[in-house]
């Protein structure tokens, strides 16, 4: 593969197992003028393993904004640069967004080299629905904001994917159980592609107990894949708040209009509210 001058390559690297690098990534990392890495000492180990001696410069979350300007100048002067992060795909909860954006704006050519990401690796083996999912990244570190974020996700039907630091895993799982219920399905993917890889599909209640009982599960890196909220059975009553809104509007408006407005305000389905109210009115007559 020939390396193009003035091009920014976004290169995915292994999550842990050094064998998980593509031959194209190795060609690019050997052939570019410079590699921009999140932690140069960490990436030096990967490069050493593959006998790659391309010079490294540091681009991390604390210097990315300033470093981007200089890197764009170098790209415009014809240098080829590869961006890598410590593990997985750059920009996925990792630095690179400002640089990639600046490159687009400056008319610099970008080339992505796909490869591992903890997000897709965990999802691929989770056994939870993957046709639609939300990537939530890291939850807030403090309990108050973390619970608030989880509360905002209670009704989310899509599978949810979270990254979490090992020292917060137990607190986060306990907050998920208290906010979203004990029975929610959850999949823990720990130390993916490494010697102590752990995969467990269970419920929030069981996972909280299991992780609490085994300190080894509170070490290493992990992804949590959470089942989405279940759809309400067809004949189940809409939530009380939606019914309260509907009954206020019904005092002033025809049923159809009241149901449509209540649906807009509450986020519930118009037809479900209309059907439910119709049945209630029939019963009252
Ligand atoms: N850019 C990376 C990617 O593509 O997955 C993610 C970087 S983010 C700063 C680091 C988080 O990714 C970790 O806290 C963990 O949640 C997840 N992660 C990275 N490597 C992992 C692994 N081998 N096993 C499980 N989770 C991992």
Residue 207 has pLDDT above 70, yes or no: yes
Residue with tokens 């060609």: 27
CA of 38: how far to CAs of 20, 42, 43, 271, in Å? 19, 8, 8, 51
Task: Quickly state the pLDDT bin for 1 (edges 50, 70, 90).
Answer: confident
Which residue owns the Cα nearest ligand 1 atom 19? 118
pLDDT classification of 277: cutoffs 50, 70, 90? confident
Report whether residue 94 contacts ligand 1, using a CB cutoff of 6 Å: yes
Q: What is the pLDDT of residues 52-75, one digit of tens each?
A: 999 999 999 999 999 999 999 999
Q: The tokens of 38 are what?
A: 């999140």
Residue 198 near ligand 1, beta carbon < 6 Å: no
Average pLDDT of 203-210?
Answer: 97
Report the half-sphere exposure of 90 (CA within 13 A, side-chain side): 29
Residue 231 has pLDDT above 80, yes or no: no
How far apart CA 269 and CA 285 sit, in angstroms, is: 25
d(CA 31, CA 4): 9
Check pLDDT > 90 for residue 279. no
Question: In terms of Cα–Cα distance, which of 26, 113, 33 is closest to 80?
Answer: 33
**pLDDT reported for residue 271:** 83
Query: Global pTM?
Result: 0.83
Instruction: Return the biggest CA–CA distance within the chain.
Output: 83
Cβ 1 vs Cβ 31: under 8 Å: yes
pLDDT band at 105 (very low <50, low <70, confident <90, very high): very high
- Ligand 1 centre to CA of 87 (Å) is 7
Residue 111 near ligand 1, beta carbon < 6 Å: no
For strand 81-84 and strand 34-37, is the pairing parallel, antiparallel, or unpaired?
parallel
User: What is the per-residue pLDDT across 112-167, written as a single tens digit (0 to 9) for each?
Assistant: 999 999 999 999 999 999 999 999 999 999 999 999 999 999 999 999 999 999 99
| pLDDT of res. 272 | 83
Contact between 38 and 94 under an 8 Å Cβ cutoff? The reply is yes
User: What's the CA-to-centroid distance between 155 and ligand 1, angstroms?
Assistant: 26
56 half-sphere exposure, CB direction, 13 A CA radius: 20
Segment 35-52 shows an average pLDDT of 96
What dihedral do alpha carbons 193, 196, 197, 201 form, nearest 10°?
180
pLDDT reported for residue 269: 84
Among protein residues, the one with the nearest Cα to ligand 1's atom 16 is 163
Q: What is the DSSP letter of 186?
A: E
Please give the average per-residue pLDDT across 214-234, as a whole number: 89
* CA dist., res. 180 & res. 174, Å (int): 10
Alpha-carbon gap, residue 135 to 117, rounded angstroms: 12
Centre of ligand 1 to C-alpha 270, Å, is 40
Look at residue 285 and tell me whether its pLDDT is greater than 70.
no
The per-residue pLDDT of the chain, averaged, comes to: 94
List % helix, strand, coil for the chain (3-state, nearest 5): 45, 20, 35
Give the count of alpha carbons within 13 A of 61, CB side only: 6
CB 184 within 8 A of CB 203: yes
């Amino acid at each position: 593969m020939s390396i193009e001058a003035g091009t920014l390559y976004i290169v995915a690297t292994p999550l842990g197992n050094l064998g998980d690098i593509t031959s194209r990534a190795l060609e690019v990392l050997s052939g570019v003028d410079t590699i921009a890495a999140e932690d140069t000492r960490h990436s030096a180990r990967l490069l050493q393993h593959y006998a790659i001696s391309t010079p490294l410069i540091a681009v991390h979350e604390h210097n990315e904004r300033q470093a981007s300007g200089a890197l764009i100048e170098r790209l415009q002067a014809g240098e080829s640069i590869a961006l890598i992060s410590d593990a997985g795909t750059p920009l996925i909860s990792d630095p690179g967004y400002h640089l990639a954006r600046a490159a687009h704006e400056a008319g610099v050519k970008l080339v992505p080299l796909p490869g591992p990401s903890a997000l897709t690796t965990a999802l691929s083996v989770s056994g939870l629905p993957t046709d639609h999912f939300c990537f939530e990244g890291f939850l807030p570190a403090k309990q108050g904001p973390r619970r608030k974020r989880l509360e905002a996700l209670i009704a989310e039907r899509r599978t949810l994917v979270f990254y979490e630091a090992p020292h917060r895993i137990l607190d986060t799982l306990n907050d998920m159980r208290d906010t979203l219920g004990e029975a929610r399905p959850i999949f823990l993917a720990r130390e993916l592609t490494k010697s102590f890889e752990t995969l467990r599909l269970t419920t929030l209640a069981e996972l909280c107990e299991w992780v609490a009982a085994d300190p080894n599960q509170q070490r290493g890196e992990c992804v949590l894949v959470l089942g989405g909220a279940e759809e309400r059975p067809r004949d189940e009553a809409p939530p009380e708040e939606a019914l309260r809104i509907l009954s206020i509007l019904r005092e002033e408006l025809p049923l159809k209009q009241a149901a449509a407005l209540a649906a807009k305000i509450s986020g519930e389905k118009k037809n479900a509210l209309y059907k439910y109210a119709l049945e209630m009115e029939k019963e009252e007559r």
